[in-house]
Copies of this chain bind each other. A is one copy, B any other.
Amino acid sequence: MSDILKNIRNFYTYLVPGIDDASWEHIAEKLTFRTLPKGSFYIRAGEICRYVSFIDRGLLRFYYMKDGKEMITGFMDRHQYISDYTSFLLQQPSTKYIEVLEEATLAELSFQDVQNLYNTSQTFERFGRKIAEQLFLLFDIQQSNITNLKPEERYLLLIEKQSTLLQRIPQYMLASYIGITPEHLSRIRAKLSSSS
């Protein structure tokens, strides 16, 4: 347990370098813990996201349904932050699913506690700003990948940048994440391996 707290504090310190013990205690005492088994859902479409969570362990996938098909928009690994932040910020029903791919242990803050912390702690307000800024930057990179790169280039980038993910995720999910059909990814791979 104290290992989890250490990891979370590292995460906070990364975003708000100067954080002091008192501010940290203030936050830490509000954290609650939860373990989600493989195959369960962090959130489903229609539900309101009531927490922001730190992933101490595990792997999750984001997707939404489009014409009866799952469209995967991202994966979240350990020591990252997870939430359907749109649903959380607006406290309105989510349009996404977040499914647990590998059993996950989460440390969470409720919406109400987050608001209270914003009102009582300048440090936490800064943390909230940093989180939103990080998400913005992440989105900006991802969007430019989607619009700039062809499927083949996105696949190569994935190999280069996230090779650990490739081993943990079936190919048809990668295809969906890249934005193509499993058949097309298979052909891209065939072409790449024949030409190299």
Is B137 a contact partner of A139 (Cβ separation < 8 A)? no
Is B139 a contact partner of A143 (Cβ separation < 8 A)? yes
Question: A132: CB under 8 A from chain B?
Answer: yes
- Known: A126-B118, A129-B128, A132-B132. Contact between A137 and B86, CB under 8 A? yes
Selected from B73, B126, B132, the residue in CB contact (under 8 A) with A136 is B132
Chain copies in complex: 2
Q: Is the interface of A mostly helix, strand, loop or mixed?
A: helix
Most buried by B among A95, A133, A137: A133
**Whole-angstrom distance from the CB of A92 to the nearest CB of chain B?**
11
Is B148 a contact partner of A89 (Cβ separation < 8 A)? no
A-B contact pairs, 14 of them (CB 8 A): A64-B144, A66-B147, A89-B133, A89-B137, A122-B122, A122-B125, A125-B129, A132-B133, A132-B135, A132-B136, A136-B136, A139-B139, A139-B143, A147-B179
Closest 8 CB pairs of A and B: A132-B132, A129-B129, A139-B139, A132-B133, A86-B140, A128-B129, A125-B125, A135-B136
Q: A residues bordering B, Cβ < 8 Å?
A: 64, 66, 71, 73, 85-86, 89-90, 95, 118, 122, 125-126, 128-129, 132-133, 135-137, 139-140, 143-144, 146-148, 179
